[in-house]
Amino acid sequence: RRAKLLKTKGIYFLYRVLQACALPALLLYFVCRGLGNRGYWRSLPERFGFLPHSFRQTGPGAIWLHAVSMGEVLACLEFARGMRAEFPHSRLFVSTSTLAGRATAEQKLGAIADGVFFAPVDYVFAVRRVLRALQPALVVVAETEIWPNLFREVRRTGAGLAMVNGRISDRALPRYLGLGRVFPLLRTALAAVDTLLAQTEEMRQRFLALGAERVAVGGNLKYDFAARVADAGSPVVQLIERARPAKVWIAASTMADERVDEDDVVIAAWRQMRGVFLMLVPRKPERFDVVAGKLDAAGIAYVRRSRLSADGDGAVPPLVLLLDSIGELGGLFGLADCVFMGGTLAARGGHNILEPALFGKAVIVGPHMENFAEVAD
């Protein structure tokens, strides 16, 4: 047992040495991202563990839910509501890692959570600062966010550690297995998890192969949602009513890789149509201006959601809407006749098609649905 303890300490020591060497590169990354989007500058204090004073707890008992990005936040909506109902006297804090995830969490969970913040980078000093502030009794991590220092420090505080909606994609599995053989930190980190709820039995076996010890099948949280139709007073609804199109086509969560830019494909396809209203929805906020530039270059009349008023201006509306907003798309699927889901022509593993399917809409995807194979089936 002593030998195992020494080995574990050695593994974590090596990890921290590597982290110290990588710190300049991490800071340079945030500097570069901050030059393009000031949101990254504003996120830095929280990423290094400095939370608002109002988050500080005087005693243990809080719940910390981490959902890395927009997709994970949306998947955890009903789960978070369930935790709030089950533990009404426990403060609930939600962390994300991306700007889109943060915006979605504030919009969708702002009335449920006691605070939303950017998760700390996986450095001991940052993680400890957050744990001292929140004093959680339980830390819940969604899907496949495996952070060795976070997991170890949570265990040191005596708090419970759980992973929910656990999944490992076909593409990621060989990388994880290879990493685990070369550097056993992954296995050590997963062994620290008190409860891991995998989406399927296949996912359960994958986590066991990677070193997790307490794994059960909990189902897919993405199935736990209610379809909420957009309000009739929504500016988007009123725009479509004024346009009176023959059909409405939503191109959702479009992305790009080195081989294909889905926005280019969508624009080219729409130009061959007649009387079809296109709602173009880039996946990431940093692409909003890029896609607007593509529409301008193509000479296509369009309107941005951010510049759309509820009353309209009385002019004949264009047949293209660039939805440059966060968290609004789910309720708009009910307006569509057909939905193309992005991340499927570009090799991005796909996105969740359950919401448009629940509205009974025809759904088009490309060949890449690896991250949602069960949903696609």
pLDDT tens-digit readout, 300-353: 999 999 998 755 665 778 999 999 998 889 899 999 999 999 999 999 999 999
> What backbone torsions phi and psi does residue 109 show, to the nearest 5 degrees?
-115, 5
Element (H, E) at 207: helix 201-210
* Sequential DSSP letters for 210-236: HT-SSEEE---GGG-----PPPTT-HH
**Calpha distance 194→210 (Å, rounded):** 15
pTM across the whole model: 0.82
**Calpha distance 19→266 (Å, rounded):** 41
Amino acid at 330: G
Task: State the pLDDT at residue 11.
Answer: 85
The tokens for 25 are 């590169």
First-residue to last-residue Cα distance in the chain: 46
Partnered with residue 280 across adjacent β-strands are: 251, 322
The tokens for 310 are 């509820």
The tokens for 15 are 């990890």
Q: Which of 72, 143, 262, 355 is catalytic?
A: 72
Region class of 312: left (phi > 0), else alpha (psi between -120 and 50), else beta: left
Task: State the pLDDT at residue 310.
Answer: 59
CA distances from 165 to 16, 21, 354, 370 (A): 28, 33, 16, 16
**Calpha distance 172→377 (Å, rounded):** 20
Task: State the pLDDT at residue 181.
Answer: 75
Sign, Cα dihedral of 106, 108, 113, 117: negative
Residue 319 and residue 248 in contact, taking contact as beta carbons nearer than 8 Å: no
> What backbone torsions phi and psi does residue 196 show, to the nearest 5 degrees?
-125, 120
* Sequential DSSP letters for 286-310: GGHHHHHHHHHHTT---EEGGG--S
Write out 332-361 in H/E/C secondary structure.
Answer: HHHHCCEEEECCCCCCCCCCCCHHHHHCCC
CB burial of 149-168 (b: ≥16 within 10 Å; e: otherwise) equals bbbbbbbebebbbbbbbbbb
Task: State the pLDDT at residue 316.
Answer: 77
Task: State the pLDDT at residue 223.
Answer: 87
Burial (CB count <10 Å: 0-12, 13-18, 19+), residue 297: exposed
**Calpha distance 289→304 (Å, rounded):** 10
Could you list the beta-strand ranges (E) of 155-258. 160-166, 195-198, 215-217, 247-254
* pLDDT values of the chain reduced to their tens digit, one per residue, 377 residues: 766 666 678 888 899 999 999 999 999 999 898 888 888 889 999 999 999 999 999 889 999 999 999 889 989 999 999 999 999 999 999 999 999 999 999 999 999 999 999 999 999 999 999 999 999 999 999 998 999 999 999 999 999 999 999 999 888 888 888 877 767 888 899 999 999 999 999 999 999 999 999 999 999 998 887 777 888 889 999 999 999 999 999 999 999 999 999 999 999 999 999 999 999 999 988 899 999 999 999 999 999 999 987 556 657 789 999 999 988 898 999 999 999 999 999 999 999 999 999 999 999 999 999 888 888 98
Is residue 78 flagged as an active site residue? no
Residue 344 and residue 368 in contact, taking contact as beta carbons nearer than 8 Å: yes
Partnered with residue 84 across adjacent β-strands are: none
